Structure 1
């Protein structure tokens, strides 16, 4: 008789634990209380996705993420941002650590094998950043015999070196800030990556007036919002939010606020093509 009571109690406790797990430990980018949304962004890209020293989040991608979250029904206090380094974006999405990622996330077939995308919401292009008083670099071929800087592992730098300016003296450093220092000190002649990222750095207060974008379009980089593969409902809702953001003027305002100080000339908002 006692054994039966103990067994019944164990079953009851196990059932309760499972119920609590289902409620509180839900993944899919929600907080433990189920009413928050976790969004992956970049923390180190001024103008696009930046966590400031006082803990605030700024940038065009951040503005897009906030707008989409609001359209999904989440108020500002229910949004939680999580750092999403380039190499970790697919894992964060697949594991349910974030609901979606908005972080200079170029849509391509390799990534689409692992995650789905909504958008695109922005068309970026690879460009060059040079000193404001430098008029010797106006086209990519001018990089031949010049010192070109980019970050270690950058596909942008290899694109220039292998295809566009094979005689360029390519130097790779640990971060964009190091390249900027080298550019300012004339240790290098140009920095290359997506124009949006370059514009963000050039627009920082401490850098204003020091650098300029050459204004080239060395590649097409359609930025999309990454989400779990097969979640067509979420994809559809995010696409609707992006379309609304374009139509009500919020998209253009976000571009001007975040990239305008660097005189970045953005392409018009792209047509949304990633649909279920």
Structure 2
């Protein structure tokens, strides 16, 4: 990943976080301790936090062999739930897991169907107009999955061919942009979720599957398909991930921020990353994706911020 562009993406992500913190400050000045925000109040009343999860976004959010939602994003969300418990004075909050897809996840937040979306969602300025995001938890980018023996090494090699993308993703936008930029005449088709996109490629209904590189690697590992498919091409987008929640609730934003700072101050973020990206997953596969310098720097910044506030 080009360092200059990657840093600019992270810089934009930090801008979103700064805007959230400014809103938090304004909230503290005007509301103080008069009550809980709507989401926190509803959680306190129901004694339950609703976590949106994805079925096939390993290692962020996916199902284990027993059908239980697990993953890196869900563990981060569980840390946020603990902090919500502190905020609403209820240490025994229950968790209700609610399935979402790439296409309906934002609406699930906007329509109050979930409290936190714990998947593999890119935080960008366009989405930031509608929803709020946690601090940075990962940086990915759009690449291509192709059959191992295919003569495809970049998007230009797909001229006139079929590419599947998952509906409602930034990858869908990236492929349309590449198609237009390079006049490729692509047949871009969509499917409801990453697993279905993978199956379209596996069934020969598409020549490539375009999504974030880490998700492609996760699907290949999960299907033990290293001898069938490979990830290739230059990055067609750079996508910083965050936990998504409702916009306009600075008190909730402050709780999310505090949960991340606590993980940073306890130096839990890198071990948590390693648990899901370098160690063997509960489902048996291993991704072997070491932490990037950019993400390690972002985690260190959270550690430094937490130390400065102590």
94, 101, 109: which one pairs with 2:117? Answer: 101
**Which string of whole-angstrom CA distances, capped at 9 and with x for unpartnered residues, describes residues 138-175 of structure 1?**
23322225443334563343233223462445444555
Q: CA RMSD in A?
A: 3.6
DSSP-derived class of the 2:256 partner? helix
Matches within 5 A, 1:48-197: 48-52=60-64, 54-73=66-85, 78-134=94-150, 136-151=151-166, 154-164=172-182, 166-173=184-191, 176-197=194-215
- TM-score for the superposition, normalised by structure 2: 0.65
Matched-pair contact (CA < 8 Å) for 1:105–1:225? yes
Structure with the higher fraction of residues in helix conformation: 2
Q: Which residue of 2 aligns with 1:203?
A: 221
Q: What's the counterpart of residue 286 of structure 2?
A: 261
Q: Deviations over 1:162-208 (max 9, x none)?
A: 23462445444555445434434555332101223222211214534
The count of corresponding residues between Structure 1 and Structure 2 is: 249
Shift of residue 99, structure 1, vs aligned partner: 2.3
Q: Distance between the aligned counterparts of 1:114 and 1:33, measured in 2?
A: 25
Kindly indicate whether the alpha-carbon contact (under 8 Å) linking 1:130 and 1:189 is maintained by their aligned counterparts in 2: yes
- Please list every run of 5 or more consecutive structure 2 residues that lacks an aligned counterpart in the other structure: 1-37, 302-310
Q: Deviations over 1:66-114 (max 9, x none)?
A: 2332344487972222123334434433444332222222222332222
Give 1:271's aligned residue: 298
Taking structure 1 as the reference length, the TM-score comes to: 0.71
1:226 to 215, 237, 244: 244
Q: How far did residue 129 of structure 1 move?
A: 0.8
**1:57/1:76 CA distance change after superposition, 3 Å:** farther
Aligned-residue offset at 1:125: 0.6
Unpaired runs of 5+ residues, structure 1, are 1-25
Q: Structure 1 stretches (4+) deviating beyond 6 angstroms?
A: 74-77
Q: 1:40 to 1:76 in 2, by over 3 A?
A: farther
- Show CA shifts across 1:207-250 (max 9, x none): 34422211632111111222222322322232232244453222
* Bigger Rg, which one: 1
